[in-house]
Amino acid sequence: MNTRWWRGSRAPGAVFLLSLIATFEAWHLSNHYVEERVGERFNFRVSQVVDAVNGRMRDYEQVLRGGVGLFLASPTVTQRQWHEYVENANMPEHYPGIQNMAIDFPIPAAEKEAHIASMRALGYAEYSIRPEQPERPVYHTLAYVEPFGGRNLRAFGFDMYTNPTRRVAMERAIEQGVPAISGMVLLAQETHQDVQQGFIFCLPVYHQCRPAGTLAERHAALRALVCGAFRANDLMRGIFGSSTNDVELEIFDDGVVSPDTRLYTSLAKDSLVPLSLSNGRLVEVGGRKWLLRISANQRFLDSVSTLQSHVIALAGGFFNLALLITFTSLVGRESKARKLASEMTAQIRENEKRLAEVNRRFELAADSASIGVWDYSIVSGALIWDKRMYQLFQVKPDEFERTYNAWSSRLHPEDRARAEAELQAAIAGGKDFDTHFRIVWKNGEVRNIKAYARLELDSAGQPVRMTGINYDITEQRAMEAREHERTEQINAIFALSPDGFVVFDRSGCVRFVSPAFMHLTGLDEAEVMGLNETLFAARLARACLPGAVFPNLMALRAREQMIGGSHRELIEIAGPGKRVLEAGLRLSRTETVSQILYFRDITHETEVEQIKNEFLSTAAHELRTPMASIYGYTEILLTQDFDEETRRELLEIIFHNSELIIAIINELLDLSRIEARRGKDFQLERLDLALLLREIVAHFKAPAGRPILSAPTSDGTRQVRADRQKLTQAVSNVLSNAYKYSPSGGEVTLDLVESPPRIGIRVTDQGIGMTPQQIERVCERFYRADASGQILGTGLGMSIVKEIIELHGGTVAIDSEPGLGTRVTLWIPMSDPPGA
């Protein structure tokens, strides 16, 4: 805004003074009437002129916009097409004042030579980008200039960007995306004849697919500038073509009145502006402020009467000034309004652009994601699908009936009722439709569709239409199903595995613990989840028994890497009952898992191993003792002479100890066979127990001098299913013990006792008896109630008895009193007598 000519601190004073004069004159001449008429008429003419200028500029902008449209419609616009467009516009007739319409192309420096070469190849041998300039990233060239010929050839290849005035307009157009008019320039086409002021009007065309958010991006996205070169005199002559004009027009660029900014004048050269009646109006065209000064000329003045002319001369003076004052305020208000309007327009354009961009992005997204869009009019029942919907449903547009039923009939029969109900509920309830259903293609293929829709209500709240999207989730579902299945399998493996697992993620923290781990260690998930390996190791170590503590993971890792998987780290978990775990570590190279710690329960294994070791050690000891006698006495006999009696005595010792070794070996073999076979080699048969006992008694050799045993009589009722030979062995062992442990004599009895459903074989002696502690251990291997070695025995007899009876489903009961005797009862299940 620059209106120096009316600005100044004296203006209000002058206005006041002049108003006084005017008021005085008006009062004096009583000529308000004349005053009003002249002013009204002049104002009317001013408005006419302003409208004409604005209108013309709008028209010219339109023809340039047409050029933009040409570019938008076609990815490539040839020189030929541009020529046709301009020719078709018929500029001389419809748009006088446009010297040419040209296309300015930005040419990146790297492409400059190629561009020039291609232009020259088209036949323009002289073509170059002018004027020569130092190296720039981007050059501009008017590569298409129409009409092509005459003085317009001077513009061909002209780099407008080199001219500061033109550049300002170009940059405004590029950066703001608006039509922009340059300041006053002397067109390149000007010859020395009839030199006129001119200006450039340019509009930007961008590459549609490039971002245009920042200034730099807009420069980069620029495809071309559609430019019009205007000669001001020619342009305005269209408006002021008539010589009957009664007003004169001057246009000052940039809103500044000065001989240097005068873009146009209808006044003859050097003629003065008649100050008698003049008015200024500021208009904005192409982002440029033009000050239009419209002045009444002689013709206007002549048209009023002489008297009136005086009045007008005075009143006009008043008007002139008063209007200037008015203008002062008007300019302010008008420019504000224009600015607002311009901003609003820019805003609307920006919004439109954004909308177009959003739409374009949506289309792209919808296309790439194969999202179909549908629109269902609840009022009319019409269902509109976009092209992607047809693809999703594998329906050709001409096969689709565009109704609700056309949709529902394509749903999977099992999903149809539900999906329809959901849609109706959405319509009725005014809520969103968010579901999935299966559809059936014509070829019978079933697809899973995800559907989402929104209901649109009218102002009365009635549902009007529903707009929604569909997309195919068949593959996604299948993938999810596969994933789910795999997860379930893995979970099942983890859940069922007796081995415990701890999974560490890439950051080295516990990510997963299997149920078996929690069971084995007694730690629960919450205690260890998320711990890093140091904390985890410390936590687990706390759960261990001292001396068998979990080491740190670094140690395990080092061993894993050095020794491979063969290393076993044994730890013992504290708490009730012994629990020995073997811990191992495996490193993982997968994306999410760094290492897996596993734990195996080897409590049983270690116990078995311990039992085996103890057994071997005990067995060795039991064999070494008789062997010591055999070896030792043999050596003595070989090296010393003895009398016959002693010699015989010593040999008997050797013989007995040999027998003992044989018995031990046999019984160990028996025991291990019984244990290994676990009764599978038992030949079970129905036995009359009383009869069996009679047989045993008949074959049993009681020690010399001991009373003969008696067996209970058979009544055929006391039957069992048993292995005859094994049961005989068990009873014999017990009988043998009864005699052995009653060395001072006393009766040994053999009875049957019944306690249905079991029957007991009872052996009673009056021997040395046992303490409760001895009874407890009597069935242990190699345990001997007499440890003195006085009573010969292997220490295995009762172990064998126990094994045999238990494998028959029975139990061994022992009652004893030290010094009084022992009663052993072998309880086994009774068998029903045959036919019972």
Residue 19 interacts with another protein (CB under 8 A)? no
Q: How would DSSP label each residue in 86-130?
A: HHHHTHHHHSTTEEEEEEEEEEEHHHHHHHHHHHHHTT-TT---B
Least separation in angstroms between residue 706's CB and another protein is 23
Report the residue number, 490 or 636, with the smaller CB distance to another protein. 636
Residue 632 interacts with another protein (CB under 8 A)? yes
Total residues contacting another protein by CB under 8 A comes to 24
CA–centroid distance for 119 within its chain: 52
Residue 658 interacts with another protein (CB under 8 A)? no
- Asked whether the beta carbons of 189 and 142 are under 8 A apart, the reply is no
Residue 617 interacts with another protein (CB under 8 A)? yes
Report the residue number, 18 or 637, with the smaller CB distance to another protein. 637
Residue 535 interacts with another protein (CB under 8 A)? no
Coil vs helix vs strand at 602: coil
In this structure, the strands spanning 198-206 and 180-181 are antiparallel
Residue 629 interacts with another protein (CB under 8 A)? yes
- Asked whether the beta carbons of 463 and 454 are under 8 A apart, the reply is no
- Asked whether the beta carbons of 201 and 179 are under 8 A apart, the reply is yes
Residue 483 interacts with another protein (CB under 8 A)? no
Angle at Cα 740 formed by Cα 735 and Cα 741, nearest 5°?
100
Indicate the DSSP class of residue 351. H
Question: Of 259-267, 301-309, 604-612, 634-642, which part binds another protein (CB under 8 A)?
Answer: 634-642
Rounded to an integer, what distance in angstroms lies between the CA atom of residue 163 and that of residue 636? Answer: 135
200-221 b/e (C-beta count within 10 Å ≥ 16 → b):
bbbbbbbeeeeebeeeeebbbb
Report the residue number, 55 or 789, with the smaller CB distance to another protein. 789
Angle at Cα 763 formed by Cα 757 and Cα 764, nearest 5°?
125
Applying CB under 8 A, among 79, 625, 717, 749 the residue interacting with another protein is 625
* CA proximity to 318, closest of 543, 604, 16: 16
Question: Of 554-562, 633-641, 737-745, 822-830, which part binds another protein (CB under 8 A)?
Answer: 633-641
Q: Residue 770: which residues within 8 A CB-CB, separation 6 or more?
A: 778, 785, 814, 816, 818, 822
Q: Residue 261: which residues within 8 A CB-CB, separation 6 or more?
A: 184, 252, 253, 254
Applying CB under 8 A, among 31, 278, 657, 742 the residue interacting with another protein is 657
Least separation in angstroms between residue 545's CB and another protein is 22
Report the residue number, 257 or 792, with the smaller CB distance to another protein. 792
Report the residue number, 650 or 734, with the smaller CB distance to another protein. 650
Least separation in angstroms between residue 649's CB and another protein is 9
Amino acid at site 654: I
Rounded to an integer, what distance in angstroms lies between the CA atom of residue 213 and that of residue 4? Answer: 38
Rounded to an integer, what distance in angstroms lies between the CA atom of residue 385 and that of residue 372? Answer: 8
Question: Of 277-285, 287-295, 443-451, 650-658, which part binds another protein (CB under 8 A)?
Answer: 650-658
Please, is 16 exposed, middle or buried when counting C-beta atoms within 10 Å of its C-beta (0-12, 13-18, 19+)?
exposed
Rounded to an integer, what distance in angstroms lies between the CA atom of residue 402 and that of residue 385? Answer: 8
Report the residue number, 217 or 652, with the smaller CB distance to another protein. 652
Applying CB under 8 A, among 59, 113, 635, 817 the residue interacting with another protein is 635
- Asked whether the beta carbons of 555 and 541 are under 8 A apart, the reply is no
Report the residue number, 560 or 622, with the smaller CB distance to another protein. 622
Rounded to an integer, what distance in angstroms lies between the CA atom of residue 48 and that of residue 68? Answer: 30
Report the residue number, 496 or 628, with the smaller CB distance to another protein. 628
Least separation in angstroms between residue 793's CB and another protein is 13
Rounded to an integer, what distance in angstroms lies between the CA atom of residue 186 and that of residue 231? Answer: 9
Q: Residue 511: which residues within 8 A CB-CB, separation 6 or more?
A: 503, 504, 505, 529, 592, 593
Least separation in angstroms between residue 655's CB and another protein is 12
Residue 653 interacts with another protein (CB under 8 A)? yes
Residue 787 interacts with another protein (CB under 8 A)? yes
Least separation in angstroms between residue 789's CB and another protein is 4
Least separation in angstroms between residue 782's CB and another protein is 11
Report the residue number, 478 or 628, with the smaller CB distance to another protein. 628
Report the residue number, 333 or 621, with the smaller CB distance to another protein. 621
Report the residue number, 570 or 628, with the smaller CB distance to another protein. 628
Residue 624 interacts with another protein (CB under 8 A)? yes
Question: Of 108-116, 219-227, 345-353, 649-657, which part binds another protein (CB under 8 A)?
Answer: 649-657
Applying CB under 8 A, among 71, 156, 494, 633 the residue interacting with another protein is 633
Q: How would DSSP label each residue in 719-745?
A: EEEEEHHHHHHHHHHHHHHHHHT-TT-
Applying CB under 8 A, among 11, 52, 378, 630 the residue interacting with another protein is 630
Rounded to an integer, what distance in angstroms lies between the CA atom of residue 755 and that of residue 686? Answer: 19
Rounded to an integer, what distance in angstroms lies between the CA atom of residue 267 and that of residue 273? Answer: 8
Q: For the chain, state the CA radius of gyration.
A: 59
Residue 773 interacts with another protein (CB under 8 A)? no
Question: Of 463-471, 539-547, 624-632, 797-805, which part binds another protein (CB under 8 A)?
Answer: 624-632
Least separation in angstroms between residue 617's CB and another protein is 7
Rounded to an integer, what distance in angstroms lies between the CA atom of residue 33 and that of residue 305? Answer: 13
Question: Of 170-178, 383-391, 614-622, 716-724, which part binds another protein (CB under 8 A)?
Answer: 614-622
Applying CB under 8 A, among 628, 662, 753, 820 the residue interacting with another protein is 628
Report the residue number, 448 or 737, with the smaller CB distance to another protein. 737
Question: Of 49-57, 232-240, 635-643, 672-680, which part binds another protein (CB under 8 A)?
Answer: 635-643
Residue 631 interacts with another protein (CB under 8 A)? yes
Alpha helices in 497-598 (DSSP H): 515-521, 525-528, 533-542, 553-563
Question: Of 281-289, 462-470, 751-759, 785-793, which part binds another protein (CB under 8 A)?
Answer: 785-793
Rounded to an integer, what distance in angstroms lies between the CA atom of residue 675 and that of residue 671? Answer: 6
Question: Of 148-156, 178-186, 284-292, 617-625, which part binds another protein (CB under 8 A)?
Answer: 617-625
Applying CB under 8 A, among 378, 627, 702, 814 the residue interacting with another protein is 627
Residue 791 interacts with another protein (CB under 8 A)? no
Residue 648 interacts with another protein (CB under 8 A)? no
Least separation in angstroms between residue 578's CB and another protein is 22
Q: Residue 831: which residues within 8 A CB-CB, separation 6 or more?
A: 686, 719, 720, 721
Least separation in angstroms between residue 582's CB and another protein is 24
Residues 406 to 465 in contact with another protein, rule: CB under 8 A: none
Residue 745 interacts with another protein (CB under 8 A)? no
Applying CB under 8 A, among 243, 639, 744, 773 the residue interacting with another protein is 639
Question: Of 241-249, 289-297, 724-732, 782-790, which part binds another protein (CB under 8 A)?
Answer: 782-790
| Phi then psi dihedrals of residue 46, to 5 deg | -60, -50
Binding site for another protein (CB under 8 A): 617, 620-622, 624-625, 627-633, 635-636, 639-640, 650, 653, 657, 787-790
